Amino acid sequence: MDNCIFCKIVAGEIPSTKVYEDDTVLAFNDLDPQAPAHILLIPKNHIGSAGEITPENSAVVAHIFEVAAKLAAEKGFADGFRVVTNCGASAGQSVHHLHFHLLAGRDFTWPPG
Ligand code: AMP
């Protein structure tokens, strides 16, 4: 997708600190970490947001959660981590390519602000 920064990261046109990659999923460190560990997990194929998940494209979402669990366990955060996606501007979505924030390494409050 033109002008999508996460598609450009997938294509290698913008650098990222990769922590995981396979055929369908890429995970890399967030540029502006909000916790000691802050990893973004994205589908390689462009999906705009959680609001665009359909029966046709949803398999990658399950896979992303498998990868999130694996990364949290590998990094020693299996006991406590947060996975969140912001959908739409009013929810704080700033990059319009579906992504899940994996946050860990500190305590989190609920409800989020
Ligand atoms: P959201 O605001 O939920 O859409 O999250 C977008 C996230 O992408 C923010 O946490 C940004 O810090 C992060 N971000 C934006 N550009 C980059 C980039 N080039 N590399 C890594 N993280 C980025």
Asked whether 61 and 44 are in contact (CB, 8 A), the reply is no
Res 107 pLDDT > 80: yes
pLDDT digit string (tens) for 54-101?
999 999 999 999 999 999 999 999 889 999 999 999 999 999 999 999
Kindly state the average pLDDT of the residues 40-49: 98
Measured from the Cα of 32, ligand 1's closest atom is 12
pLDDT level of residue 112 (50, 70, 90 thresholds): confident
CA separation for the pair 103, 113 (Å, rounded):
15
> Active-site residue among 96, 97, 99, 101?
99
Res 111 pLDDT > 80: yes
- In the reported structure, the alpha carbon of residue 109 is separated from the centroid of ligand 1 by a whole-number distance in angstroms of 21
Radius of gyration of the chain (CA): 14
Res 113 pLDDT > 80: no
Phi-psi category of residue 14: left, alpha or beta, with phi > 0 → left and psi -120 to 50 → alpha: beta
